[in-house]
């Protein structure tokens, strides 16, 4: 049922949840579907977030046409807030639906009793493991994975029963004793893992790896992106101990036949290991724990090329700071090569590793002295793990690349210096506005190629100004003057706004030259400069950082944004004559904008950013004819936004086309053509009906 009503191809547990909610809507007055964002911090340096789908699932469900969102009760019950805040959330969400009302005291007492009961049950579970585990003779198995998969009889394909029928005791990871176990050997990995369940899985794996007669069985779900990362680290831990393991992937089919044979084979393997293995071995954790470069000194630095205009400016800033920097180069061949290392992760991760290897080889540089700069992230999607996972890919590549360094840096370049951070803001501003100028002129140019030539020339001039620390104003005067001389024709074209994944939007190689494709088929692309995009989302992130206690981060970024936006005016005046637009106010309430899609300001990441961007793009361009969402394969945020596409269309009156670039070949952009030829949604539907008849 869930698969039939879901608006995107989610993992199996999320599809199952769709079905549960739809079923309950036919039976209950209200359905309790709370927000789970993050477990409260036990250690300051470690974040334990729930996965991206989990964070957004109440919002996704509330946007389904078949669901009455007013009947969903969705308070925040898991975040960095105190228990008192959680009780307030529960009280506010319940008091309005109970005719007789309810007191805050009752809610508070109920929460405390439930928490106490949970703690007692957790202690009891651990005692069962302690009493029942056979440490000397028989095999013991621990099932590791997400509780909503393994503990659900409708999802676990009777795997626990299969072990029981084979006279093997199967425990769940919650039953293990974490408190009295030393995880210092893998502490670096646990520091980098930002997901709650993934961290618990790897802790349980480590316990199983160094516990006699205990063997782990990893049960994952089809399309679970976090598990695609976690499984690799699971394997590394077990292989470091030279101990066998089993990985089973579940889908929506309920047959257990295919699992029985694999489980029987695994038990034979476990028995052989138990009989012949020796515990005397030295474990090397060097390849398991993250290994990042602490700085950029004396290295050849390679910067990601998600936008070849802004990227050149950022590399020039690094050079002006005394670093030997290169902009990575990407080709169709590097994209094909990157699929070799993909085991379910989002494509940009593998593309970064592949283009790094290609660029180092092209310039005949020493891989051991080469460093890949990767953006730092704290949001719930996979980006946080990019640096560590890319390092793993480079180790497997060998040929010297096992010695290459990876650096996790701020996209703002604030970790370099305040001056670099300010210059980076202007790099994003100039790059975005230059692209915007090109998109406004190129579709109407009389002599084809003039606009692209002007952009290439302007990019070179502005890059030189950043690199040589010369006047930016003089550079802009020289760089932008040729655009005013380009002869254009007057005609009406449908306007198209592109949003979605950062690596897809402006990367002409991976998005199959999307902007030019739209222009060749009669459209005009409306782009959003990064500097404006930052202002669209800034207030939401500032509020979130305040709630998370990141006061230094908040103050430094807020100060930089204020200073640069004041300085921006003296540079924008050179772009203004070419753009012919009014200044936009970005102070609209984020609570109201996000609330229309069931989101909270505690949300973060691309899905939230997309909604804010759509709001402000329409505010600036009410004549937008089409939204195009661009996504890589296996991208959680893209799936969430895709699931909201129908609600976006309903709220804005503008069609949404979702394009996923999976590198399988074929022109993915062709799906846009009907929307450009018949720009109004009603006209498209009418035309399709006429063709059908």
Residues 109, 111: Cα–Cα separation, whole Å? 5
Per-residue confidence (pLDDT) for residue 687, from 0 to 100: 56
**Confidence class for position 693, pLDDT limits 50, 70, 90:** low
pLDDT above 60 (res 197): yes
More confident site: 561 or 404? 404
With DSSP H G I counted as helix, E B as strand and the rest as coil, what are the percentages for the chain, rounded to 5? 55, 10, 35
The model's pLDDT over 254-268, given as tens digits with 9 standing for 90+, comes to 566 789 999 999 999
Residues 521, 527: Cα–Cα separation, whole Å? 17
**Confidence class for position 545, pLDDT limits 50, 70, 90:** confident
Contact 16, 53 (CB under 8 A): no
Residues 224, 122: Cα–Cα separation, whole Å? 26
Residue 192: which of 223, 154, 233, 241 has the closest Cα? 233
The model's pLDDT over 329-350, given as tens digits with 9 standing for 90+, comes to 999 999 999 999 998 888 999 9
Task: Give the 3-state DSSP-derived string for 162-199, with helices as H, strands as E and coil as C.
Answer: HHHHCCCEEEEHHHCCCCCCCCHHHHHHHHHCCEHHHH
- Block residue for tokens 């003057």: 481
Contact 22, 234 (CB under 8 A): no
Residues 426, 122: Cα–Cα separation, whole Å? 53
This prediction has a pTM of 0.91
Count of beta carbons in the 10 Å neighbourhood of residue 678: 17
Per-residue confidence (pLDDT) for residue 440, from 0 to 100: 96
Cα three-residue angle 9-18-91, rounded to 5 degrees: 130
pLDDT above 60 (res 664): yes
More confident site: 634 or 186? 186
More confident site: 654 or 564? 654
User: What integer best gives the mean pLDDT of the chain?
Assistant: 91
The model's pLDDT over 367-424, given as tens digits with 9 standing for 90+, comes to 999 999 999 888 888 889 999 999 999 999 999 999 999 999 988 898 898 899 889 9
The model's pLDDT over 5-25, given as tens digits with 9 standing for 90+, comes to 999 999 999 999 999 999 999
Residues 87, 106: Cα–Cα separation, whole Å? 10
pLDDT above 60 (res 150): yes
Per-residue confidence (pLDDT) for residue 284, from 0 to 100: 80
Burial annotation 329-338 (CB, 10 A radius, 16+ → b, else e): bbeeebbebb
Q: Please state whether beta strands 31-32 and 72-73 pair in parallel, antiparallel, or not at all (unpaired).
A: parallel
Count of beta carbons in the 10 Å neighbourhood of residue 257: 8
Residues 608, 476: Cα–Cα separation, whole Å? 33
* Mean pLDDT on 170-192: 93
Per-residue confidence (pLDDT) for residue 571, from 0 to 100: 92
DSSP string, 593-636: HHHTTT--TT--SHHHHHHHHHHHHHHH-TTEEEEEEEEETT-H
More confident site: 596 or 278? 596
Give bridge partners of residue 32 from the DSSP assignment: 73
Three-class SS of residue 151? coil
The model's pLDDT over 24-73, given as tens digits with 9 standing for 90+, comes to 999 999 999 999 999 987 776 788 999 999 999 999 999 999 999 999 99
Q: Among 300-304, 442-446, 561-565, name the one with the lowest average pLDDT.
A: 561-565
Strands (E), 344-445: 370-375, 405-409
**Confidence class for position 558, pLDDT limits 50, 70, 90:** confident
Q: Which helix (H) or strand (E) holds 524?
A: strand 524-526
- Block residue for tokens 């359905």: 31
Residue 508: which of 651, 308, 684, 692 has the closest Cα? 308
- C-alpha to C-alpha distances, 631 to 46, 365, 625, nearest whole angstrom: 29, 32, 20
Contact 505, 515 (CB under 8 A): no
Largest CA distance in the chain: 86
Cα three-residue angle 688-691-693, rounded to 5 degrees: 110
Residues contacting residue 265 through CB under 8 Å, at least 6 positions apart: none
Per-residue confidence (pLDDT) for residue 582, from 0 to 100: 80
Residues contacting residue 526 through CB under 8 Å, at least 6 positions apart: 439, 495, 496, 497, 617, 621, 624
Contact 413, 423 (CB under 8 A): yes
DSSP 668: G
Q: Return the percentage of the chain with pLDDT > 90, whole number.
A: 73
Three-class SS of residue 216? strand
Strands (E), 53-172: 72-73, 76-78, 140-145, 169-172
For the record, the structure tokens of 73 come out as: 């009760």
Per-residue confidence (pLDDT) for residue 602, from 0 to 100: 92
Output Rg (C-alpha) for the chain, integer angstroms: 27
Per-residue confidence (pLDDT) for residue 438, from 0 to 100: 97
Residues 542, 556: Cα–Cα separation, whole Å? 11
Q: Euclidean distance between the first and final Cα of the chain, in Å?
A: 31
**Confidence class for position 104, pLDDT limits 50, 70, 90:** very high
């Amino acid at each position: 049922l869930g698969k039939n009503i879901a608006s995107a191809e989610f993992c199996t547990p999320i599809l199952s949840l769709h079905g549960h909610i739809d079923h309950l809507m036919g039976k209950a007055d209200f359905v309790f579907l709370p927000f789970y964002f993050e477990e409260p911090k036990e250690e300051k340096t470690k974040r334990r977030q729930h996965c991206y789908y989990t964070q957004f699932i109440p919002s996704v469900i509330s946007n389904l046409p078949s669901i009455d969102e007013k009947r969903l009760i969705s308070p925040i019950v898991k975040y960095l807030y105190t228990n008192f805040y959680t009780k307030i959330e529960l009280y506010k969400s319940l008091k309005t639906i109970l005719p007789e009302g309810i007191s805050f005291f009752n809610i508070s007492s109920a929460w405390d009793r439930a928490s106490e009961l949970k703690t007692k049950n957790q202690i009891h579970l651990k005692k069962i493991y302690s009493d029942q585990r056979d440490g000397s003779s028989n095999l013991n198995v621990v099932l590791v994975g997400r509780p909503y998969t393994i503990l659900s009889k409708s999802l676990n394909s009777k795997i626990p029963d299969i072990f029981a029928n084979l006279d093997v005791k199967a425990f769940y990871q919650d039953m293990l004793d974490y408190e009295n176990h030393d995880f210092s050997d893998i502490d670096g990995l646990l520091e980098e893992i930002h997901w709650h369940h993934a961290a618990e899985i790897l802790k349980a794996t480590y316990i199983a790896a160094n516990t006699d007669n205990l063997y782990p069985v990893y049960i994952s779900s089809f399309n679970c992106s976090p598990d695609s990362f976690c499984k690799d680290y699971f394997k590394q831990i077990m292989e470091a101990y030279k101990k066998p393991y089993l990985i089973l992937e579940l889908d929506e089919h309920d047959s257990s036949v295919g699992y029985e044979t694999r489980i029987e084979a695994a038990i034979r393997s476990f028995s052989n290991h138990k009989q012949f293995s020796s515990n005397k071995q030295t474990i090397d954790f060097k390849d398991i724990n993250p290994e990042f470069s602490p700085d950029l000194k004396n290295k050849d630095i390679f910067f990601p090329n998600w936008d070849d205009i802004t990227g050149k400016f950022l590399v020039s800033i690094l050079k002006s700071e005394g670093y030997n920097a290169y902009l990575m180069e990407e080709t169709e061949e590097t994209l094909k090569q990157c699929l070799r290392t993909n085991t379910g992760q989002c494509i940009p991760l593998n593309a970064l590793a592949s283009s790094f290897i290609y660029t180092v080889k092209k310039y005949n540089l020493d891989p051991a002295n080469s460093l890949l700069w990767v953006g730092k992230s704290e949001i719930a999607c996979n980006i946080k793990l990019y640096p560590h996972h890319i390092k793993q890919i480079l180790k497997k590549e060998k040929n010297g690349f096992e010695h290459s360094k990876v650096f996790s840096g701020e996209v703002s370049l604030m970790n370099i210096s305040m001056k670099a951070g300010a210059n980076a803001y202007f790099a994003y501003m100039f790059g975005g506005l230059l692209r915007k100028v090109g998109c406004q002129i190129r579709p109407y140019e009389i002599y084809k190629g003039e606009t692209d030539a002007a952009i290439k020339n302007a990019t070179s001039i502005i890059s030189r100004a950043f690199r040589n620390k010369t006047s930016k104003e003089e550079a802009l005067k020289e760089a932008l003057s040729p655009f005013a001389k380009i002869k254009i024709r007057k005609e009406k074209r449908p306007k198209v706004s592109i949003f979605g994944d950062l690596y897809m939007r402006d990367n002409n190689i991976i998005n199959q030259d999307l902007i030019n494709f739209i222009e060749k088929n009669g459209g005009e692309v409306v782009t959003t400069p990064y500097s404006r995009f930052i202002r669209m989302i800034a207030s939401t992130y500032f509020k979130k950082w305040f709630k998370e206690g990141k006061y230094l981060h908040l103050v430094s970024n807020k100060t930089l944004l204020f200073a640069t936006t004041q300085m921006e005016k003296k540079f924008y005046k050179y772009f203004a004559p070419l753009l012919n637009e009014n200044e936009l106010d970005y102070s609209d309430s984020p609570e109201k904008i996000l609330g229309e899609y069931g989101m909270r300001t505690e949300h973060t990441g691309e899905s939230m950013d997309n909604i804010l961007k759509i709001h402000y793009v329409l505010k600036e361009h009410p004549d937008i004819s089409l939204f195009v969402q661009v996504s890589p394969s296996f991208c959680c945020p893209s799936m969430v936004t895709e699931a909201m596409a129908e609600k976006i269309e309903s709220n804005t009156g503008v069609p949404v086309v979702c394009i996923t670039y999976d590198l399988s070949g074929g022109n993915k952009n062709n799906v846009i053509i009907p929307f450009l030829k018949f720009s109004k949604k009603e006209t498209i539907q009418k035309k399709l009906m006429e063709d059908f008849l």
